[in-house]
Amino acid sequence: MPAPRRAKHLMTGSPITSDHIAHYEQHGYAIVESFCTTAELDGALADFDATIPGWVDLVKDPTGPKPDTWDRRFPGQRGMPHFPYKGDTLNNLTFHPALRAFATERAGGAAMFCEQSHLSYKIKGYSGDHDQAMHLDYGNHTIAYPPNVPRYWQTAFLYYFTDVTEDLAPTAVCSWEYYPERILWPAHYTRESRPSLYDNEVKVTCPAGSLLIYSMRTFHRGTAFKAMGGRLGMFVTYAPLEARWMGIVGWSQEAPRQEFRNWMERVSVAERTALGFPEPGNDYWTEETLDGVAARYPRMDMAPYRDGIER
Ligand SMILES: [Fe+2]
């Protein structure tokens, strides 16, 4: 009889359990129901409303007035609100230690950086309300190819801040068991070209505050609304820091915003490093860069970076 599977480096107190890890390692995805605490969910919705006003109310009452972002792209990268957000909760959830730990463990302990964090909002009849084709996300998360080698594994997370039912555009995901081929190309199949991906899909229905975890090698798709209603969420993806060919955005694009400076100045060294910022001890740090970064971010504690340079 095989030895029971043991969780690897399971983080104490993490809502992501050994069962979730085992499921992920077998199927390429895991659903963590009620990942967020009540306070985190309340805070996430408050930050959501502050960042893109009107959508929280619209999802609560889809017959209510439509926000002015209803029919135009958000003025930011890729037409969507990106990290950092107004308030602290969505920013903290982006860098939740359980997400960082999960992604790091899947990549065999490699240092990771956050390469995606943006909000997702849809309502029946909105431009995002359509049945997507089955796809892998690596098309716009790397300019190379995601090999089946942990060192290069990116991990994607999708937070759901509203209840997701069968009628409310659940994400559909298909287990690794149904595409065992060595090379995952193409990264996109219509229902007609590969019906088995659709016949074996699982709809991710879950309560508000839940989390879907999947990989760049996991087929999935967005589905259309079947009833009046909406869905609010946030995508977060981590990638190995050494893989400069990965990433959906460049965070420098967000750096001029006050929210960005506030976040940079308040968070820990580990969180900054997880955004791709140079870590203490990196050759980057010199008297010049210490003074330059301190000038740009006057409230940042520079001591950990100063302590790391050789004198
Ligand atoms: Fe996708």
61 Cα–ligand 1 center, Å: 27
Query: Is residue 156 helix, strand or coil?
Result: strand
Cis ω for the linkage preceding 84 (within 30 of 0): yes
At residue 72, the pLDDT reads 82
Segments of 5-61 assigned E as strands: 29-32
**Average model confidence (pLDDT) across the chain:** 93
Please enumerate in sequence order all residues whose Cβ is within 8 A of that of 281, keeping only pairs 6 or more positions apart, or say none. 308, 309
252 Cα–ligand 1 center, Å: 24
Band of residue 112 on the pLDDT scale cut at 50, 70, 90: very high
User: Which percentage of the chain shows pLDDT scores above 90?
Assistant: 84
At residue 17, the pLDDT reads 96
Set out the domains of the chain in order of their start, with CATH numbers: 18-277 (2.60.120.620), 281-311 (no CATH)
228 Cα–ligand 1 center, Å: 23
135 Cα–ligand 1 center, Å: 6
- What DSSP designation does 4 have? P
Averaged pLDDT, 133-153: 94
221 Cα–ligand 1 center, Å: 6
250 Cα–ligand 1 center, Å: 19
Q: 9 pLDDT exceeds 60?
A: no
* pLDDT tens per residue, range 26-74: 999 999 999 999 999 999 999 999 999 999 999 999 999 999 888 788 8
Structure tokens at 82: 């990106």
User: Taken in order 40, 44, 255, 291, is the CA torsion positive or negative?
Assistant: negative
At residue 4, the pLDDT reads 38
Band of residue 2 on the pLDDT scale cut at 50, 70, 90: very low
Averaged pLDDT, 11-33: 94
Are the C-beta atoms of 206 and 264 separated by less than 8 Å?
no
220 Cα–ligand 1 center, Å: 6
Are the C-beta atoms of 119 and 81 separated by less than 8 Å?
yes
Distances (CA, A) of 125 to 64, 208, 234, 304: 14, 21, 20, 50
User: Strand pairing partners for 240?
Assistant: 112
Band of residue 241 on the pLDDT scale cut at 50, 70, 90: very high
22 Cα–ligand 1 center, Å: 22
Identity of the residue numbered 295:
A
| Most confident by average pLDDT, 12-26, 199-213, 276-290 | 199-213
- Helices 18-27 and 97-106 cross at an angle (nearest 10°) of 40
